[in-house]
Homo-oligomer: A and B are copies of this chain.
Amino acid sequence: MPLRETCCSVCDFILEYDTPRIVLIKNKKVGLINRLVQLVILSYIIGWVLIWRKGYQDFDSIVSSVIIKVKGVAFVNSSGFGERLWDSADYIIPPEQESSFFVMTNLIRTENQTQGHCPELPKNGFNCTSDSNCTAGLIDPHSSGVLTGKCVTFNEGVKTCEVLAWCPLESQTVFPNPALLGGAENFTVLIKNNIRFPQFNFSKRNILPNISASYLKTCVFNRTKEPYCPIFRLGDIVRETGDKFQELALQGGVIGILIKWNCNLDRSASECVPQYTFQRLDNRNVDETVSPGYNFRYAKYYENSAGKETRTLIKAYGIRFEVEVFGKAGKFNIIPTMISIGSGIALLGMGTVLCDMIILHLLKKRNYYKEKKYKYVEDYERGIDDADDD
C-alpha cells in the first residue's frame, strides 16, 4: 500500500477509527463452548455484580448515635443486706457510657473498710509461723496490702502476715448463688438509635414514624410479634443468645446488641428498618478458672462519725451490654453502574482466551485455524516477499 500524503495528518488521526480484525469461525463445538462461557460470565455480571451486590448503586456508610435508658427495680432480701430495693441509679455503673451499659446482677459487699492493719487472707505465700516469714514493706501483686512484717492470728490455728490495707479485707470468695439481683431479668432497656447516611442526606431513627407514644409505653420487643419495638427485656436478650439469664447473672458476661440498617434508598424510606440481633461476646465456658465472667470492684466512700474515711467495697458481677450499629445504604448512581457494566464487558474477553486455547491446541484442525488467526511476519528482508500470505 502506498502511503497517502495528507495535508492535515492530525485531522486524519482524529477522523479515523481502528477496530481489531476478527476471524469468525463457524464451528459448532467451539461456538457452543464460546457462548456457554459468555453465558456464565453474563449471568455472573447480571446476577452477582448487578443484582446481588447491587453494582448499580452508590453506597454510603452509617453515622449513628445511641441513647440508652434502663428501667426496673429489683428486690433483695438476703441475710447480709436485709430488705433492700435496687433501682437503676444503684445497679448501672458508671451511670453514663457512650454506647454500652453495665447492669449489676450479683455482688459481694464488704462494709466499713478503713485504712488499718489486719491479717492477710490465708493464701499461698502469706501463711506464716513467725514474724521472720513476713518481710516488712513487701508488696506482692497478689497481696491485699503492704506487709507490716508481723505474723498475726487470722483465725484459730491459722497465722498469716499482717498487712496495711483497707480492713477488714474482702473475705467472701464465693459469689452468692442464686444471684442477688436475679430480678434484673425483668428490667427493660429503651434503646434510642438515630442514624444518618450523610451522602444521601437521609436520616431515620429506630422509633419508626408509625409507632405511637402510647404503644411505646407498653410494648416489649419480640422477634416475631413486635420486631420494631425499641424496648427490650434483658431476660429476652439473654435467652436469644442461647444462655440462661440466672446462670449468666451469677458471674456476669458481655453481650452484644447489634442493630443492622441495610437500606435500599431506591425503594420507599419506610422499608429502611432496623434489625436487631443479640450475641454473647465473651467466652461462654464457665470452667475457666481465671476470673471467669465479668466483674470489677468499686467503692463508695463515706466519712464516719470520727471524721475518718471509710468505704464500702463492692465486687460487682454483671452483664455488660454493648450496642453496635452497622449497615449501609445504597442508591442508584450512573457512575458505579457504568463501572460494573464496563468491567463486566472486559470479563467477556475471558471467554475468547479460553476458546482460543481449545481451538488452537485441542482441535484436529488446529493448524488450519492457526493459519487463519495468525499472520506470520518474519524480520528478514525476504520476509517482506512471502508475508503477503492472506
Instruction: Report which A residues bind B (CB closer than 8 A).
Output: 1, 3-4, 12, 14-28, 30-35, 63-65, 67, 69, 71-75, 83-85, 87-90, 92-100, 102, 115, 137, 139, 141-146, 164-166, 183, 186-188, 190, 192, 194, 205, 207, 213, 216-217, 254, 256, 281-283, 288-291, 294, 296-305, 307, 310-311, 313, 316, 320, 322, 342, 345-347, 349-350, 352-353, 355-356, 359, 365, 367-369, 371-379, 383-384, 386-390
Contact = CB atoms under 8 A, between A and B. Distances in A.
Nearest to A335: B48
Contacts of A67: 254, 282, 294
A301 B163 CA distance: 28
Contacts of A19: 22-23, 25, 352, 355-356, 359, 373
Q: Considering residues A69, A87, A322, A371, which has the most beta carbons from chain B within 10 angstroms of its beta carbon?
A: A87
Given A15-B31, A369-B377, A390-B390, A302 B302 contact: yes
The DSSP consensus for interface residues of chain A is mixed
Contact of A22 (B33, B34, B85, B373): B373
10 contacts: A19-B355, A19-B359, A21-B22, A21-B23, A73-B143, A94-B97, A97-B98, A98-B99, A194-B254, A346-B349
Contacts of A26: 12, 15-17, 376-379, 383
A1 B305 CA distance: 114
A33 B19 CA distance: 13
B192 A283 contact: yes
A65 B390 contact: no
A83 B145 CA distance: 12
A332 to B, nearest CB: 19
Contacts of A349: 346
A24 B164 contact: no
A24 B387 CA distance: 11
Contacts of A84: 115
Contact of A89 (B71, B207, B313, B359): B313
Nearest to A188: B141
Contacts of A365: 379
Nearest to A20: B20
Contact of A352 (B20, B21, B93, B164): B20
Contacts of A372: 21, 375, 377, 387
Given A141-B186, A164-B75, A115 B83 contact: yes
Contacts of A387: 372
Contacts of A88: 297
Contacts of A186: 139, 141
B85 A281 contact: no
A16 B29 CA distance: 9
A83 B76 CA distance: 37
A315 B74 CA distance: 19
A21 B18 contact: no
**Most chain B beta carbons < 10 A, residue from A17, A26, A33:** A17
A166 B86 CA distance: 8
A367 B3 contact: yes
A139 B73 contact: yes
Q: Which of A67, A205, A254 has the most CB of B within 10 A?
A: A67
Contacts of A115: 83-85
